[in-house]
Amino acid sequence: MFTRHRYPLHRLFAPVPVLIMLLGNGCDESPTGRAQVTLVPEAQMAALGQQSFEELLRTLPLNDDPHVRAYVGCVAQALVDALPEPHGTWSIAVFDDPTPNAFALPGGKIGVHTGMLGVARTPDQLAAVIGHEIGHVLADHANERLTQQLAVQGGLMLVDLFADEPGSFEHEALRKALGIGAEYGLLLPYSRTHEREADRIGRDLMADAGFDPRASIVLWRNMGAAGGGQPPAFLSTHPSHDNRMEELAEDMAQAVERYRQALAAGRKPSCSPP
């Protein structure tokens, strides 16, 4: 016995070729050679980054100490100057916030909380923080995450279209199962991948800028001491501090060599902590 679907076939299958086409056309490579899918145009990502940055400038207090701002700006600008390709103009803001946090947004926007200066205690350690955040931008991680979310929403849409009884217990259970599966099977693992990738990109960038890459390990030791307990690594969007330090140390020799080459070329930023 056949059951008649409550939706026409063209509506049931219309999203499938669209998603396949988008995913196929968005294939790219990250700076480390990892295959990735990014669907959102670069100009649109930059506009989203600008919009988010302007909102933060409106809602969060800015630090008014010129020495703090000059110090953070010195470290950040040295990293930007070491970027291998034309990088345009980057905006740097220091927010008066005690939480140890920093970020970089598409379109060249960098933000550092004053609380981070209590954890990143030297210019080299601060370079590890900002370099990591710049690494997220260089690898187009925000675009990749947005693309992943679009794919998850497309899957949920298909579940809704195929449902014999929309809103039923079985339908909602399936939606919830798909959402949880996507979160723990796709979004969180990719986020950990992004963090590891940004660690490596940032470490190499700080070395090229004349900051000692070995400070990245000290930084995460400080973060571990400041942050207390963490959730298990497989449930976290970030690798554990111990895992990060181990992975950063694995190929540290090549980063140190890049650092030595930068010093030999005269690249050693003079950024004085306040």
- Active-site residues: which are they? 133
| φ, ψ at 7 (rounded to 5°) | -125, 140
Question: Are the CB atoms for 207 and 259 separated by under 8 Å?
Answer: yes
DSSP state of 234: G
DSSP string, 69-114: HHHHHHHHHHHHHT-SS-----EEEEE--SS--EEEETTTEEEEEG
* C-beta pairs of 89-92 under 8 Å, 24+ apart in sequence: 91/53
Quick one: which of 125, 138, 120, 147 has its CA closest to 31? 138
Rg (CA), the chain: 22
Distance CA 67, CA 124 (A): 17
Q: How far is CA 165 from CA 1, 3, 7, 171, 172, in A?
A: 18, 13, 11, 7, 10
Distance CA 129, CA 126 (A): 5
Distance CA 234, CA 184 (A): 8
Instruction: Find the largest Cα–Cα distance for the chain.
Output: 79
Q: How far is CA 90 from CA 104, 142, 257, 274, in A?
A: 10, 17, 27, 22
